[in-house]
Structure 1
Amino acid sequence: MELDDAYANAAHIPGSDAYPDRWARQAAAFREGVIEQGLAELDVDYGDTPRQRFDLFLPRETPKGLFAFVHGGYWLRFDKSVWSHLAGGMLHNGWAVAMPSYDLAPQVEIARITWQIARFCEVAGQMVAGPIRLAGHSAGGHLVARMAVPGVLPRRLAERLAHVMPISPVADLRPMLKTSMNAQFRLDEAGAAAESPVLQRPVKGLPVTVWVGGDERPAFLDQAQWLADAWGCDHVVDPGKHHFDVIDALADADSKMVQTLLT
């Protein structure tokens, strides 16, 4: 369809086929190390379907708060097991890290996935005291942006949000109507608008940073700009990074991305 190529990332990233296996190996090695230290709680239920589970990684000391990372994959693919290593940066800074899986389209609608992530935040937030910082990548960027909108999270939970970082987000879902993927999303104009953070406003005073790779597809550069403009929030274009490697910095405790999340 008209916008299929605009939103096709893998076709425009050299060696893209190798990334999923690489992520999975790094994630498995990370989990093994944390499990050996007795600092992981895996497959914590937050809902009544098999994919409504999250992993919680804990620092040695009392956590400073909770960081949650929500994965991408166009609401169609991947699960929590592929991204565990990205917990490293915040974990080494003393934060507990939660990473959820969620049900995927076309089994559920995107609005239902938003609801599931809100429920995940509630359950994880009950397990770890203190402030909450959220990041999500691509479709996950959409989902954490939705958590920043008043009324999506319970008020007391929303009051704990300290920073939200949509990374390479799909912030306006209306272009998805012009992609072949919409056969699985089953969005119409009203549904796409209702799930588009660019048409909403964040919780007043909540720090939000929209992050995107400088070498990403023009559509994702646009999406990031649209959200930053709509919300009047900080906007970082990371030079030399594409859609697949822009998230690597989450594994580095001293990276600009992690340090920004901590502000």
Structure 2
Amino acid sequence: MGTPAPQQIWGTLSQAERDDAYNNTKAVANSADIAAARDAASAAFRARLPQHLDVAYGPAPRQKLDLFPAADAGAPCLVFIHGGYWQRNARELFATYAEGLAAAGWSVALPGYTLAPEARLTDIVAEIGAALDWLKGSGPAHGIAGPLVISGWSAGGHLAAFHLGHPAVAAGLAISGIYELGPLRDTYLNTALRLTDEEIATLSPLRLPVVNKPLAIAYGTREVPALIHDARTFHALRAGAHAPGPLVPVAGADHFTILASLSQPDGLLARAARSILADAL
């Protein structure tokens, strides 16, 4: 499988090879089983803590948050954004990944967002910004008043990296993200995304000024090469600008199993979230 960089390599790939370069589901044979177990665990977790679910931060149907406030309103809060290439999945399916940090005394907030093609990526980015605005202004009324650590997986990793500069955010943990959008226009993903030149230029974290806040960038060592390349390149860009935050390779993890270490209080990604916040304070 080829990678999208350097560009001359990307240019030699067939359409099928370009599609495969970003097809995580195809790359992980048991991805459907992993997703089914995730969905069941998330439903059970939400059923145990139903007090602050489906809280609206905007008027659209998917502009809602699931909130899991800690006993201490001043505790840190992980804001976890789901993935699905901006066109699949929902916040409700990812509640299980709140369990690790919730058990460690953190609050967790999971924002939803309108999916493509109903929304353009520009609109999706704006919705996450609106969710962060809501958490800053209205979070304390729901028991969330501590520092926000923005995180997300896959497309959510992109959205987390993009919003690191939001004034409400103290630090970030981007997991298996896409930080250069240009190659996606040459793949099956663009049928729904319909990316424009302006969106690629203004929404790709690798093309934007470096935000000087702590950001941990995680990837699985068994991910598709395109995502490994993006993670390493984004970290190198930030390191070159002396921006704080480690590169976190998760040994043996693929695009779907990487999140398991967020579900346990002592998991690698849960520890990375605590560490990156410590760097910010």
TM-score > 0.5 by shorter chain? yes
Q: Helix, strand or coil for the counterpart of 2:62?
A: coil
Identify the residue that residue 246 of structure 1 maps to in structure 2.
258
Alpha-carbon shift at residue 33 of structure 1 (Å): 1.8
Q: CA deviation at 1:60?
A: 2.9
Aligned twin of 1:3: 18
String of CA shifts for 1:120-175, please: whole Å, max 9, x gaps.
Answer: 011123312121111100000000001014xxx3x4x2xxx332011010000011
Q: Is the 8 A contact 2:174 2:216 kept in 1?
A: yes
Q: Supply the distance in 2 between the matched residues of 1:56 and 1:142 (Cα, whole angstroms).
A: 21
TM-score by length of 1: 0.91
Name structure 2 gaps, 5 residues minimum: 1-14, 240-244, 276-281
More helix by share: 2
**In 1, Cα distance between equivalents of 2:49 and 2:64:** 18
Task: Determine the C-alpha separation between the residues in 1 that align with 2:201 and 2:101.
Answer: 33
How big is the shift at 1:63? Answer: 4.2
Amino acid at match of 1:138: S
Distance (whole Å) between structure 2 residues aligned to residue 203 and residue 16 of structure 1: 33
CA distance in 2, matches of 1:28, 1:63: 27
User: Partner residue of 1:220?
Assistant: 227
Contact 1:252 1:258 in 2 (8 A): yes
Identity of aligned residues (%): 31
Mapped partners of 2:215, 2:27: distance in 1: 29
Structure 1 unpaired stretches of 5+ = none
Q: Give the alignment partner of residue 203 of structure 2, picking from 195, 203, 210.
A: 195
**Length, aligned pairs only:** 250
Q: Distance in 2 between matches of 1:216 and 1:86?
A: 19
Cα offset, 1:19, TM superposition = 2.4
- Which residue pairs with 1:143 in the alignment? 159
Deviation at 1:12, TM superposition (A): 1.6
Asked if residue 25 in structure 1 is aligned to residue 25 in structure 2, the reply is: no
* Aligned position for 2:6: none
Calculate the TM-score normalised by the size of structure 2.
0.85
How do residues 31-70 of structure 1 correspond to structure 2 at under 5 angstroms? 31-35=46-50, 40-70=51-81
- Are the aligned partners of 2:73 and 2:145 in contact in 1 as well (CA < 8 Å)? no
**Deviating more after overlay: 250-259 vs 208-217:** 250-259
CA RMSD between the two structures: 1.4
Encode CA deviations 1:90-110: one digit per residue, 9 max, x unaligned. 111211110011001111111
> Does structure 1 conserve the Cα–Cα contact (< 8 Å) formed by 2:219 and 2:227?
yes
